[in-house]
Structure 1
Amino acid sequence: MNAKANGARKLIDITLDAGFGRSTPDVEHERAVAIFDLIEENSFAPVGDTGDGPYALKLSLVEHRLSFDIRRETGEDVATHILSLSPLRKIVKDYRFICESYYEAIRLASPAKIEAIDMGRRGLHDEGAQALRDRLDGKILLDFATARRLFTLICVLHWKS
């Protein structure tokens, strides 16, 4: 694949459904960091797209399902994928619980306890990213780091709903 094609296989814009209000400062920080990191570095390509990227992605929840609305930077529709949240629900719930424990620990706990909770948090985050990659198999090609950041955004959407 040539360099132009590699540069086109990425996201340049990410939006979350605006129908949800703001969340806690910790969750809003996670959202902002995930979006910034995604824009800076990602690998993202809809399977079967014959046009050129880069892409803009709108993530939303539609009737308790996850919607990936993918467009070109020009606004042209590329694809919309609607996924059941059921396979991710337990991981998202567990991840939220451990994140809440982590946010509390960084304010009050010893460094050793914070590190232990953070190790568990990173493990669940990796599990969620892999589950997301599995759900998107055959629909969207993405690397593990991109899946991790998208999983963070899915958690933010889920927590706000």
Structure 2
Amino acid sequence: MNVSFYVLSESKAQDVLGFICQLTQTALNKGTQSLLILTEDETMLGVLDDALWADEATSFIPHQRLVAYDTMTDKTASAVAPVLLGAYLPANFNGITINLTSRPITDFMTATNNATPTRVLELIQPDAVSMQAGRDNYKHYQQLGYELTHFKV
């Protein structure tokens, strides 16, 4: 698995929603894989939902919010929109994941969901808590032998 860390500058962190929308659009433009934006923060899910609909005045990023395991089949959700928003990895998900949680993506991969993201994009905010979580995740992925890259933006 390829894991890319995006270390945000102060200016990028001030418009983190804009950066997430830009990163999402770039990932969609470069490939045919579905994309999941993973966050355990319900408020952030709502804010992202609104931001993706209004990314630009003349366009939007089509997406589907995963609300609960039992209200929608994961197969249907992934077929509806190229971008998914949720607090979990859907069953058999094998696309790109933007991980907005402080936990490594492997915490969300289980034997029952068979999810194996092909690429993970981790965002690191310019604060001590986010930086430490990023360091911890980097070490975790490194121990698993994942291909790691980082970008300062």
Q: TM-score range by the shorter chain?
A: under 0.3
- Work out which structure has the larger RCO, using CA pairs closer than 8 Å and 6 or more positions apart in sequence: 2
TM-score, length of structure 1 as denominator length: 0.23
Q: Which has the larger radius of gyration?
A: 1
